[in-house]
Amino acid sequence: MARTDSLQGSLDLLILKILSRRAPLHGYALMTAITEISGEVLRVEEGSLYPALHRLEEESWIQAEWITKENGRRSRIYQLSEEGKRRLPMEETRWTSVSAAIHQVLKMA
Amino acid sequence: MGLLSRIGNVFRPDRLRREVDEELADHLACAAEEGRGPAEARRALGNAVRHREASMDIRMAGWLDALRSDVLFGIRQLRRRPVITAAAIVSLALAIGAVTSAFRLIDAALLRPLPVADPHSLFVITYSFVNDVTSKADEAESFSYPQFVELREAVKGKAELMVVSYSSRVDLTYGGDDAMERGYRQMVSGSHFRLMGLQPALGRLLSEADDKTPGGHPVAVISHDYWTRRFGQSPKAVGQTFRLGTVLYEIVGVLRPGYTGTETGVMTDFYIPAMQNADAIREPGWQWMRVWARLAPGAEVDPVRQALQASLTANRRERVKLWPADTPKEQLEQFVHSRLELRSAAAGVSSMQRNYRRPLWVLGAVVLLVLLIACTNVANLLTAQAAAREKEMALRVSIGAGRGRLVQLMLVECLLLAGSAAVLGGLFAWWSAPFVVRMINPPEIPARLHLPADWRVLGFSVLLALLVTVLFGMAPALRASGVKPASALKGGDDPHARRRLMNVLVAAQVAFCFLVHFVAGLFISSFERLSNQPTGFATNGVVLLETQVKGNFPANQRPQQNWEEIREKLRGVPGVQKVALSSFALMGSSSSSVAIRIPNRPPDTISPYLLGISRGWLDAMEIRLLSGRDFTLTDRWGAGKPDGPPVESRVIVNEAFARRYFDGQDPVGKSFETHLGKQNQLVRNEIVGYVRDARYRDLREPIRPTIYAPMGESGWGTFAVRTEEQGAVSQGAALRRIVSEARPEFRVVNVRMQADLVREQTLRERLLATLSLFFAAVALILAAVGLYGVLNYAVVQRRREIGIRIALGARSAHVARQVSGDVFVMLLVGSAFGLGAGLAGERFVESLLYEVKGTDLWRLATPALTLLGAALLAAIPPVFLATRTDPATALRNE
């Protein structure tokens, strides 16, 4: 099974995509979602998730709020902002073209 | 979000830290719920502290956070040495406050545009002339109404001209004579308000319809400020009438707030049409107003100027045709070829600007020098401090701090100093600028200058604080940041470099201080000389009643008898010693002159002063009669009525007159000729009296030949009332009442004290002397503190060396010379530079001086001796400390 740790750059896209599909999620749930959907291929390095989330938040692509769960613990949940919704298609296109290019190189070389 | 939220986050780092921690803890809790082992989950998450810092950096602006910690560190550093910090802040605050105040004054008086539409297309017309007393080229701006009409026609279509009279203080009343009030009046063309683009807050403003008939438009527009002060903004003000002189005026409108008239320094209360100066409308000889021009949109200045020049020259060519045939050609040429200029009137035009333009800039330069001294002081203090912090800096560099980061650290500290100083200085300026304005004019007619604290002033203070920070902070900051850790931790490779820098700063400080003292010395002696000028007449206890006659005298009475009648009444008042009458007061702003011909001599280029006086006036004013006699009731002056009997004109002259025309011989019995009256008739005047010189109008000008003539029929006059000195001021009101009780058609329009008139002549010199003395004192204190700081530092730094010297048997005197030698050399070098700058700069202040030259030996000695004294005082404590160094302790400490 191939493991890909080098998610640099693609992590932001994954976060945006997942948040666009699902109800607001907290960090752990987001991480689980990435792992599950990718069929356990992509595994987010847990430590790098939060700086990425905070960076996206400061860029205003996602919004965060604190909720209190039934067990009394507070959880910070994230969802896509208007700005993020606008950015997502662009990021997707960029990613598709980059991966297509890489694919091309792999085939031709 | 974005930058704003990051800046916000900088100020709540604790909360941010807690939140990140809580989020990470939540992550671990979720992992536990999924059944993962806590150790494994923690390992998977990685180093929590590192993540937290990464997130913190993302969520705060990095440099801002660094800045915040620098500020906190800076405050701690400053608080660690409270005395030095306080000294630095106070000296900077004083200097910054003084500079800000100077800026406020200069801005308000000279730079700020009038609050009118497009002020930059407004001009005032001036013309050149040669002052016949000083023979210096000068510029004047007074025009007569007929001349104005000609000029107006000359530039039709290119520019619109308007009459703007001098703002003058007048007495008016809304009720009877016992309820006189004072107000500032300007007479303006009807077009004035339209051309200025002003709107009424209430009623109407003047218009072209008010420019028709001389004396036919008794209406007034009042300023918003006056409306507020006098009427509490009541709408009923419009329609009210007041009496001014002998005419009733109706208030027809109120201006919107902001506009205070065209004369910066005076706030005009009300405006009446120029037509109300009825006698002056057709009179070509009365020059009583300025002419303002509003250029048409797109019009160039130069063509307008040329058209005006052509009109003025043509007018003057006509006028000189009436002059006596033997007038010197040179004088004629000067008059005809007077050059007309259009001067920008964007910031208003006033005599205050004319008189105070140069003094304000000079004071600005002086306070700037004081600021430089203060900056040098703080730079010195910081340099000394930097020595103590060299090891700290070295440590910072060793653990990886960048040079830029260190400069930032130091500059933040400086900025804290400058910032607090700027706030204190702002308070100082807030208090001091109006204080200075109050000194500009005599207390009863204060200069009123709008001194707003708006963005201009605020911006200036902020810029100043930044500039100051760079000035005093940059050098020490760069030095500190350029530290080489290896050598600094060892004890430094050039321990004297810092002291050299400090010595140079001391020299600069001394030079600035010397310059300030030099200038202050010039101003102070000018003031002394001027105020000790003898006036030649009595001033104490003389009350002046400026009196006007309303309407016509009864046909059967001679006016002199009326004035005489009132004189008698006034003389009866208890406490009054003598009463006399003149056409106007000495040393007021009025003057009159008349061209004369001495038989068998060429015509003179200057015209003697002329003053109409009653008999007894010379006695009342204590102007001593040297020979001949005083006037009698029957003496007359002038040509008499064309149809009346011939008049023998008699006059009294002063010493200057005798010196100029009769070689200083007693002139009694001699005579001269004057052209007088409407027919320009040649009249022979016999000199019957010869008196001591007395000042006429100005303390500064040389005493001019003066003719005293018997006062004739007149609707105007000024009573000089000699009283017992005590209570003279309080008698003004009583005397005023006596006059109108004696004769209801006589009205006192102004009460003044002769002593005040004289004192007003020296106001500018007093202001310059007072302020420059103050700044000289400040500069001296700052320089002394600076010297002390440097010497003290030198002694502390060289403690071990001194210890060794003393241990080896050096005498106290030797040690004292050793530590103070450098500084005294710097004192000499600085004084030399200051002296050079002072002598070079003297010509900039020359016009403000009175009979004072900078090159007098003692004048150069004063600043030098003062500085030397201050330096000695400042040197005593550190030198004492040095000579008392105990070798054992000094060496043990190291």
pLDDT of residue B275: 94
How much is the average pLDDT of B119-129? 94
Facing B58 at nearest CB: one of A27, A54, A74: A54
Q: Are the Cβ atoms of B1 and A51 closer than 8 angstroms?
A: no
pLDDT of residue B613: 94
**Chain B CA closest to residue A57:** B1
Does B50 contact chain A (CB < 8 Å)?
yes
The C-alpha of A52 sits at a distance from chain B's nearest C-alpha, in angstroms, of: 8
Does B724 contact chain A (CB < 8 Å)?
no
pLDDT tens column, B165-176: 998 888 888 987
Strands annotated E in B474-568: 542-549
How much is the average pLDDT of B345-357? 89
pLDDT tens column, B445-470: 677 777 777 788 888 888 888 888 88
Percent above pLDDT 90 for chain B: 28
Compare B557 and B265 and report the one with higher pLDDT.
B265
pLDDT of residue A47: 75
Q: Are the Cβ atoms of B55 and A51 closer than 8 angstroms?
A: yes
* Of residues B657, B666, B668, B535, the one with CA closest to residue B607: B657
Q: How many CB atoms lie within 10 A of CB B359?
A: 20
Interface A-B: count of C-beta contacts within 8 A: 58
Please report which confidence band the pLDDT of residue A3 belongs to, taking 50, 70 and 90 as the band edges.
very low
Q: Are the Cβ atoms of B1 and A45 closer than 8 angstroms?
A: no
Does B45 contact chain A (CB < 8 Å)?
yes
Return the DSSP state at B22: H
Residues in B closer than 8 angstroms to A28, CB to CB, are 26-27, 30-31
Widest distance between CA atoms in chain B? 135
Written as one letter, the residue type at B507 is A
pLDDT of residue B61: 63
Residue to test with chain B: of A50, A77, A78, most B Cβ within 10 A = A50
Strands annotated E in B677-794: 681-691, 706-710, 716-723, 746-753
Please report which confidence band the pLDDT of residue B23 belongs to, taking 50, 70 and 90 as the band edges.
confident
How much is the average pLDDT of B537-561? 73
Measured in whole angstroms, the distance separating CA B349 from the mean position of its chain's CA atoms is 14
Q: What six digits make up the tokens of A68?
A: 């209190």
Q: Are the Cβ atoms of A51 and B46 closer than 8 angstroms?
A: no
Compare B28 and B668 and report the one with higher pLDDT.
B668
Query: Chain A, 79-98: which have a CB under 8 Å from a chain B CB?
Result: none
Residue B417 contacts residue B378 (beta carbons within 8 Å): yes
How much is the average pLDDT of B83-110? 85
Please report which confidence band the pLDDT of residue B708 belongs to, taking 50, 70 and 90 as the band edges.
very high
pLDDT tens column, B596-644: 888 888 777 788 999 999 999 999 999 999 999 999 888 888 766 666 6
Least confident range from B61-75, B177-191, B401-415, B486-500: namely B486-500
Does B310 contact chain A (CB < 8 Å)?
no
**How many residues are present in chain A?**
109
Most confident segment among A62-71, B197-206, B436-445, B471-480: B197-206
Angle between helices B48-59 and A46-58 (to 10 degrees): 10
Residue B703 contacts residue B695 (beta carbons within 8 Å): yes
pLDDT of residue B719: 93
Please report which confidence band the pLDDT of residue B296 belongs to, taking 50, 70 and 90 as the band edges.
very high
Q: How far apart are CA B430 and CA A7, in angstroms?
A: 62
Does B49 contact chain A (CB < 8 Å)?
no
Does A99 contact chain B (CB < 8 Å)?
no
* Of residues B494, B381, B376, the one with CA closest to residue B792: B381
Average pLDDT, chain A: 81
